[in-house]
């Protein structure tokens, strides 16, 4: 793989420094680090200048220019596999990252270029023995309540019965992660760098184009058709649903809908996905799902998304979608439906403006009247906003650019600021579980 030798920090800064990447903390689901592009968003150059000293972990969709230096694992370069390569991601840190015990929806190869990684893997057939966290609308992904630094077998006694596999991966190795396998990963080394390539959950395989013996010839990722790509500047599509699987779901709906799909059907389907289903986890949950109430605004958002899907597939406003047209539905249309159905705001540079509630922003501004720019930025930053976001707010309010915001300036410009903070992000009714797990893990270190 050319990247293994080429991707020094200096080379990446010189050639890819302006590209935008996503950030996570080194402890999964802990917090969103800030970069020079805002909350959870950084330029490649800024990340490379700061990742050694700061709690930053690049977990990002691979920008297209880098795909020219990545080779694809040869076993997936023919037949159905080659036609169903979904996306590629890049993972980079200064080591000492730690994930929760979790699972991902799709098959993946994780190829390590620098450092080492320790993997623990658990077959999904043993899920009944795992204390799975409550999550709504998550049939394939998810995480457990296990403190990976110190497993509590008094609280979770069944966990000791779980069979597991261990793998140590070094630079130059690729690990195959089957769909739905529970796994926990730790990374080591002053520089830890990996690329993962995701491909569909397939139950059938067509060997068309596969050699009778051996494996297909090597190819660069840039030469292979991939469903979700990222140019390095616009919004990412990391984690978007598999459009081929989405088509299978629509075909199933059509079978039960007498050949017509309606707005009401999409609304019912999307709202039902909000429910926290305790039964789905066969009693392994250590919390009561009934204590979680789905906010009304979440239901309204799902109705809006259902309408957006109908507007897309029923442009003439007939009132239904004729299922006889489904066979000819293009991958591009399916991708648009996927984007509408389950968007990830962290994929965009607007994440900060979706993450922070407009009322909180309003209160922060009003409580900072007549304060200096530095004082306001510090106060906004204390509410988990980024310095880049604070800079934009203050410059928008400060009409005369004198470094202070007067009452008159705030009155005149407040709504202009709040327009960007959209109250349309789904409220996560179960997020405190992950925060509690991470806090317990830190307490044990």
pLDDT tens, residue by residue, 167-213? 999 999 999 999 999 999 999 999 999 999 999 999 889 998 899 88
pLDDT over 90 at 33, yes or no: no
Q: Which residue has the tokens 């190795």?
A: 173
Among candidates 245, 195, 258, 214, which has minimal Cα distance to 69? Answer: 195
Q: What is the pLDDT of residue 357?
A: 84
Residues in contact with 91: Cβ distance below 8 Å, sequence separation at least 6, in sequence order: 57, 58, 59, 110, 187, 192, 193, 194, 195, 196
Q: Give kind and range of the element (H or E) at residue 442.
A: helix 432-444
Q: Give kind and range of the element (H or E) at residue 267.
A: helix 263-272
Residue 290 CA to residue 293 CA, distance in Å, equals 7
pLDDT over 60 at 160, yes or no: yes
Percent of the chain residues past pLDDT 90, beyond the cut: 62
Spell out the domain ranges in the chain: 2-239, 243-329, 357-418
Say if residues 183 and 101 touch (Cβ distance below 8 Å).
Answer: yes
Mean pLDDT lowest among 128-137, 166-175, 208-217: 128-137
Which homologous superfamily does the CATH classification assign to the domain defined by 2-239? Cupin (2.60.120.650)
Write the pLDDT tens digit of every residue in 391-407.
999 999 999 998 888 88
What is the reported pTM? 0.87
pLDDT band at 346 (very low <50, low <70, confident <90, very high): confident
**Burial class of residue 53, CB neighbours in 10 A (0-12, 13-18, 19+):** exposed
**Burial class of residue 437, CB neighbours in 10 A (0-12, 13-18, 19+):** buried
pLDDT band at 258 (very low <50, low <70, confident <90, very high): confident
Rounded to an integer, the average pLDDT of 88-116 is 95
The residues facing 27 across adjacent strands are: 98
Say if residues 168 and 116 touch (Cβ distance below 8 Å).
Answer: yes
Annotate 308-334 with DSSP letters as a single string: HHHHHH-TT--SSEEGGGGGG--HHHH
The residues facing 199 across adjacent strands are: 85, 107
Percent of the chain residues past pLDDT 70, beyond the cut: 87
Residues in contact with 6: Cβ distance below 8 Å, sequence separation at least 6, in sequence order: 69
Residue 215 CA to residue 236 CA, distance in Å, equals 32
Tokens read off for 376: 């306001």
pLDDT band at 374 (very low <50, low <70, confident <90, very high): confident
Say if residues 194 and 113 touch (Cβ distance below 8 Å).
Answer: yes
Helix (H, G, I), strand (E, B) or coil at 432: helix
pLDDT band at 30 (very low <50, low <70, confident <90, very high): low
Tokens read off for 16: 């890819």
Residues in contact with 200: Cβ distance below 8 Å, sequence separation at least 6, in sequence order: 80, 84, 86, 106, 107, 242, 244, 245
SS (HEC) of 61-114: ECCHHHHHHCECCHHHCCHHHHHCEEEEEEEEECCCEECCCEECCCEEEEEEEE
SS (HEC) of 386-423: CHHHHHHHHHHHCCCCCCECCHHHHHHHHHHHHCCCCC
pLDDT over 60 at 7, yes or no: yes
Q: What is the pLDDT of residue 282?
A: 43
Q: What is the pLDDT of residue 243?
A: 95
Helix-strand-coil split of the chain, %, nearest 5: 40, 20, 40
Write the pLDDT tens digit of every residue in 285-332.
444 545 556 677 788 888 999 999 999 999 999 999 999 999 999 999
The residues facing 399 across adjacent strands are: none
More confident site: 374 or 69: 69
Residue 149 CA to residue 171 CA, distance in Å, equals 25
Sign of CA dihedral 395, 399, 403, 406: negative
Instruction: Compute φ and ψ for 312, nearest 5 degrees.
Output: -75, -45
Among candidates 236, 206, 201, which has minimal Cα distance to 350? Answer: 236
Residue 30 CA to residue 231 CA, distance in Å, equals 28
Rounded to an integer, the average pLDDT of 82-106 is 95
Residue 201 CA to residue 242 CA, distance in Å, equals 9
């Amino acid at each position: 793989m050319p990247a293994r030798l080429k991707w020094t920090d200096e080379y990446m800064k010189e050639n890819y420094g302006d590209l935008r990447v996503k950030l996570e903390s080194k402890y999964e689901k802990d917090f969103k680090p800030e970069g020079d592009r805002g909350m959870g968003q950084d330029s490649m150059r800024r990340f490379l200048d700061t990742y050694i000293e700061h709690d930053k972990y690049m977990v990002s969709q691979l920008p297209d220019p880098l795909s020219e230096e990545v080779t694809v694992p040869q076993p997936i370069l023919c037949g159905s596999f080659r036609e169903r390569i979904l996306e590629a991601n890049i993972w980079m840190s200064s080591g000492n990252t730690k994930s929760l015990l979790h699972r991902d929806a799709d098959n993946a190869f994780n190829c390590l270029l620098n450092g080492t990684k320790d993997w623990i893997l658990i077959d999904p057939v043993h899920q009944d023995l795992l204390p799975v966290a409550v999550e709504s609308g998550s049939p394939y992904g998810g995480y457990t309540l296990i403190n990976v630094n110190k497993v509590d077998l008094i609280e979770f006694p069944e966990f000791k019965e779980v069979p597991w596999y261990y793998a140590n991966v070094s630079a130059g190795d690729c690990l195959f992660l089957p769909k739905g396998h529970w796994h926990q990963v730790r990374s080591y080394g002053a520089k830890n760098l990996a690329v993962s390539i995701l491909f569909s959950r397939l139950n059938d395989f067509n060997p068309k184009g596969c050699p009778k013996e051996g494996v297909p010839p090597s190819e660069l990722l840039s030469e292979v058709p991939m469903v979700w790509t990222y140019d390095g500047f616009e919004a990412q599509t990391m984690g978007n649903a598999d459009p081929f699987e989405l088509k299978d779901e629509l075909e199933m709906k059509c079978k039960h809908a007498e050949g017509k799909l309606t707005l009401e059907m999409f609304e019912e389907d999307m709202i039902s996905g909000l429910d926290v289903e305790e039964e789905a986890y066969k009693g392994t949950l250590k919390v009561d799902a009934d204590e979680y109430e789905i906010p009304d605004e979440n239901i309204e958002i799902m109705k809006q998304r259902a309408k957006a899907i109908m507007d897309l597939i029923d442009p003439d406003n007939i009132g239904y979608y004729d299922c006889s047209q489904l066979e000819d539905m293009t991958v591009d249309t399916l991708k648009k439906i996927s984007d509408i159905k389950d968007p990830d705001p962290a994929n965009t540079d607007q994440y900060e403006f979706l993450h922070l509630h407009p009322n909180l922003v309003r209160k922060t501004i009003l409580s900072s009247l007549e304060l200096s720019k530095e004082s306001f930025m510090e106060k906004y930053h204390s509410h988990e906003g980024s310095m880049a976001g604070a800079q934009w707010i203050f410059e928008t309010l400060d009409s005369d650019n004198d470094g202070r915001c007067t009452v008159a300036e705030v009155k005149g410009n407040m709504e202009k600021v709040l327009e960007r903070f959209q109250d349309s992000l789904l409220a996560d009714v179960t997020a405190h579980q992950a925060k509690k797990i991470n806090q317990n893990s830190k307490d044990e270190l």
